[in-house]
Amino acid sequence: MGQSQSVSTQTEVAAPPETVRSMFLNFQQHKEWHDIFEIKCLDPTIQPANLKPSDKLDVNIKGYPFKFQFQPTILVNSPDTFQWLGSVPVLFWGKHQFYFTPSQDTPGGTTLIQREDFGGLLAFVVGPTWSFGQKSFQHFKNLNRDLKMAAESAASSAVWPCTLCSTNSMPGSVNCALSNSPEILIICAERHRLRSWLTTNILIQQAKCLVRIEEGNVDVSVYFEDSTYAKGDLVVGTDGINSVAKGTKALLEKPNSDLLNLIPLAGLLQLLRAAPGKRRRRLGAALLDVDGARRRHFRAGHWLRHASQQEKLDHVLASVAALPPRLRKIFERTPASGIREEPYIWRDLQLAPSSLPAGCAVLLVDAAHATAPFRGEGGHHALIDALRPSKVLKRLHRAAAGGISISRDDVKAAVVSYNVEMLQRGWQAVQDSRDMQVGEAAKASAKPWRGSKLPRAETIMLSRLG
């Protein structure tokens, strides 16, 4: 016997179904935009996109007066449907469903439906007159709302004023001063989907804090704060501008404070304050205080030193007034209290080509050459930094598979070769970003990205996603 109940909510999302589904399946990133449902694969080696019927999840739903955590079983994981089944035999079961279907009301958008069917002896507690049912309905609405905002933000981020020529056009389009060509490769990708794709079939352990790197005769070891460690043939440090790996004995053995450079440009940073009880998100307005090609350096008498929060906000709103309405929205919704009182200061990082030792630890991207964000160099060189050592390591692997003995010296020689090219390229990219001009001057003096002429086998072109 028993009863049956259903809870359902529907939301229109101005983003394609594949974008909405991708955002939902990126469980690791949920904490960036939602704080009620905590979902992860029970088997950490399985990526959410690869879940199949009979696989298990670990779901923790907050906001109830008791701990509500369970391990449901996957029923369906298809391009338009995601379903799981959780149960307490006889007493209670629930089939949770998500549907991502092309919208009939929002052109190019998604109709997002979230529904759960309950059954069993205790199913009546999910009824609309019971607090558990009312809370469940509100949690569903909150998840749909947050997923909608995240997906729409991801979809809109694929269209942003070109950082190379300062026109309000899609990079590489006919209206852009710098069009896509063999010399200048324009790569447009939606961040969350690209990250999800890049981590396919890769086991990632979160909340690990590196303490030290030790290089032995036959391998290299990394040690973490939680007393765990791992061994391998090569350590790749991609831990950003404040890289811990960079400061270890295996590499530079210097603190970041001795390596980072101050960029003499002033900017504003706004804080997007969430509703009460929600986590506060931070948004960099990244507005340079420049006038054409002539920079006004941040000095003691600079207006940002004494400007009020409202005056700073007015400056931001005037700067973005020419943007399309949907791109201005985030700025127009920011109150004056959401503007940081202190100015935002940028820093970059340039390492000399001879600064990294010949070893089995390498640095990539911001850990080796952090750039100012104004030319879009960071993402470009991130791809090159990953592709080139991958190709070198692939050659070593093939040689070993063919019976050729590969020594530690061979690996170190490959690392040295990569370091020299990477640091020379990165040094110039940092300098180009620091010296960047904007407005009309950019059209006359625009420089192509360094290293943009890649061999065909290394070239990646990503079409617009989302």
**pLDDT of res. 228:** 92
Residue 13 in this model has a pLDDT that exceeds 90 = yes
User: Is 200-259+351-458 a domain of CATH 3.50.50.60?
Assistant: yes
For the stretch 204-263, pLDDT in tens is: 777 788 888 888 887 889 999 999 999 988 888 888 888 888 777 667 777 767 888 877
466 C-beta neighbours (distance < 10 Å), count: 25
Tell me the domain boundaries of the chain: 3-153, 200-259+351-458, 262-347
**pLDDT of res. 65:** 80
Measured distance CA(423)–CA(81) in Å, rounded: 46
The mean pLDDT of the chain is 76
Q: Model confidence at 164, in pLDDT bands (50, 70, 90)?
A: very low
**pLDDT of res. 332:** 87
**pLDDT of res. 11:** 94
For the stretch 219-229, pLDDT in tens is: 889 999 999 99
Measured distance CA(30)–CA(466) in Å, rounded: 18
- Mean pLDDT, residues 33-38: 90
**pLDDT of res. 187:** 55
For the stretch 389-417, pLDDT in tens is: 888 888 888 888 888 888 888 888 888 88
94: tokens are 């629930």
Write the CA distances from 389 to 200, 362, 394, integer angstroms: 19, 9, 8
Q: Model confidence at 72, in pLDDT bands (50, 70, 90)?
A: very high
CA quadruple 257, 261, 262, 267: dihedral, nearest 10:
-100
Residue 41 in this model has a pLDDT that exceeds 70 = yes
**pLDDT of res. 189:** 58
| Predicted TM-score of the model (pTM) | 0.50
Measured distance CA(168)–CA(62) in Å, rounded: 42
**pLDDT of res. 42:** 93
- Mean pLDDT, residues 198-202: 73
Measured distance CA(420)–CA(143) in Å, rounded: 48
Q: What own/partner pairs with CB < 8 Å and gap ≥ 24 does 65-72 have?
A: 71/42, 72/96
For the stretch 369-387, pLDDT in tens is: 888 877 778 888 888 888 8
**pLDDT of res. 301:** 59
For the stretch 123-153, pLDDT in tens is: 777 777 787 778 888 889 999 999 998 888 7
Measured distance CA(108)–CA(100) in Å, rounded: 12
Measured distance CA(385)–CA(364) in Å, rounded: 6
Architecture of the structural domain at 3-153: 2-Layer Sandwich (3.30)
- Using DSSP's 3-state secondary structure scheme, residue 156 falls into helix
**pLDDT of res. 270:** 45
**pLDDT of res. 463:** 32
The HSE-up count of residue 307 (CA atoms within 13 Å, CB side) is 20
The DSSP code sequence of 267-335 is E--EEE--STTSPPEEE------EETTEE----TT-GGGT--HHHHHHHHHHHTTTS-HHHHHHHHT--
